[in-house]
Amino acid sequence: MDHIAELAGKDSLSRRYFMEMSAKLSLGVGLSVPFLPRNLKAEGGTAKNLIYIYLSGGMTHLDTFDAKKNSGVMGDTELLDTPVDNMKMGMHMKELAKQADKLAVINSMSSTQGAHEQGQYIMRTGYEKRATIVHPTVGPWAATLLGESSRVLPDSVVVGQSSSNAGFMEPRLSPLPIADPSGGVPNTDLAVAGDRFDRRMEMASKLGQQFVSKFKYSGPESYVEYYNQANKLLKSDELSAFDISGESNASDYGTGRLGQGCLLARRLVEKGVRVVEVISGGWDMHVDVSTGTANKLPELDKAVATLLKDLESKGLLETTLVAIGTEFGRTPDINMNAGRDHYPAAYSCVLAGGGIKGGTVYGATDGSGKKVKSGPVTPEDFLATIGYGLGLPLEETVYSPTQRPFTFADKGKPVTKLFGA
């Protein structure tokens, strides 16, 4: 109790938390319910939506956005010039090179996490992975700090995954998982007739409410709400937002899951979904990096280039922040299997739209792509930059069910120089 009382003399949010927790204690309510601030829009970029394209496995920076003149580290990849003098790309990035004026390339990313699971975790949550807690990704954070929408469509969606969670936040904030972007929302065909289905949902809701009433715990109530939201979506016309089969330019994005995922993401933000993550695997290139990049990079290039054009033509680019992230880079040295290994010391990420200043290269590595020589950016900083673009209040504290304080991106510092005309 002492640590709660100490909050009374701190900032206004802490005082509000102190008042709430005092009321809960005096009324005999358990302490397992987190305090979640709402509607705290802060200054930042102009983005209302986010499309976060995450390349799982570790995208090679030298073959993409940090190409070098040093032939000793480039392997079979040739240097490609862009209309932006200091922005060089690998030879497979032809379409994005044409849109260099829309991109802010960060070539000074650096992480301490050299394993896939830990690296992906921090790049998607802004926190190092711990055994004692699960941290939320951007979608639940945005819903918590900016408020949930009243729409039938979910506030956040993750494409390329079959499951999701909201971390320590309430389960109803979990992003809707779409494993196959071409398959729409899974399990939408009712196994029983409509009236019978409604009766089953009503029974499930009553059972959940009985549990909540008995144990005074919000977890089951949030799950009930999550399923209620899913039920509303299932019965609404909004379900068609996930159907990309009628999109006339679907082939422009490419037929692979990354391209179709980007198409679905564009369609969803157009319909008002705030945060869409598109997860693409296959970027772990320990063997034959030349063939790997030849297979994967044209798909990425085509998908993102088309996405940016599409958003711009629909008047959505200024209000949609597009991010490309990955857990680490690949070694400048080609290994004995003609591949590149994990390399967290230096890698690249990209931002566009949402108030980002295009035609920008931020930070730099040395001539071999081995060391960050200027403008280092950590995963926490990258997530904070995304949060800044969305107008999230980065200093606001949210408490977990165990009363541990957290901020978005773990107090990372946003790279504000990337925003502006």
**Confidence class of residue 9 from pLDDT cuts 50, 70 and 90?**
very low
98 Cβ contact partners less than 8 Å away, ≥ 6 residues apart:
82, 83, 305
Q: What's residue 173's pLDDT?
A: 94
Q: What's residue 222's pLDDT?
A: 57
pLDDT at 220 over 90: no
pLDDT at 140 over 70: yes
**Confidence class of residue 150 from pLDDT cuts 50, 70 and 90?**
confident
- Domain borders along the chain are 32-183+243-412, 185-240
Backbone angles phi, psi at 362, to 5 degrees: -110, 130
pLDDT in tens, 164-177: 999 999 988 999 99
Weakest mean pLDDT among 116-125, 150-159, 213-222, 286-295 = 213-222
pLDDT at 104 over 70: yes
Q: What's residue 237's pLDDT?
A: 79
Residue 286: how many other CB atoms lie within 10 Å: 17
**Confidence class of residue 232 from pLDDT cuts 50, 70 and 90?**
confident
Q: What is the mean pLDDT of residues 184-203?
A: 61
Q: What is the CATH code for 32-183+243-412? A: 3.40.720
Q: What's residue 105's pLDDT?
A: 98
Residue 250: how many other CB atoms lie within 10 Å: 17
Query: Rounded CA gap, 11 and 21, in Å?
Result: 15
Q: What's residue 257's pLDDT?
A: 96
182 Cβ contact partners less than 8 Å away, ≥ 6 residues apart:
244, 245, 257, 260
pLDDT in tens, 252-289: 999 999 999 999 999 999 999 999 999 999 999 999 99
Number of H helices, E strands in the chain: 11, 16
Closest CA to 160 of 140, 181, 184: 181
Considering the chain, what percentage of its residues have pLDDT values greater than 70?
A: 78
Q: What's residue 133's pLDDT?
A: 96
pLDDT in tens, 54-93: 999 999 999 999 999 999 999 999 999 999 999 999 999 9
- Give the residue with greater pLDDT, 223 vs 63: 63
The answer to whether 141 and 392 have CB atoms below 8 angstroms apart is: yes
- Give the residue with greater pLDDT, 347 vs 21: 347
Is the model's pTM score more than 0.95?
no
**Confidence class of residue 196 from pLDDT cuts 50, 70 and 90?**
low
Q: What's residue 236's pLDDT?
A: 72
The answer to whether 148 and 39 have CB atoms below 8 angstroms apart is: no
Q: What is the mean pLDDT of residues 382-387?
A: 98
**Confidence class of residue 211 from pLDDT cuts 50, 70 and 90?**
low
pLDDT at 5 over 60: no
pLDDT in tens, 236-250: 778 999 999 999 999
Q: What's residue 18's pLDDT?
A: 45
Q: What is the mean pLDDT of residues 33-55?
A: 73
- Give the residue with greater pLDDT, 421 vs 85: 85
Q: What's residue 289's pLDDT?
A: 98
Weakest mean pLDDT among 3-7, 302-306, 394-398 = 3-7
Q: What is the mean pLDDT of residues 295-314?
A: 98
pLDDT, the chain, mean: 87
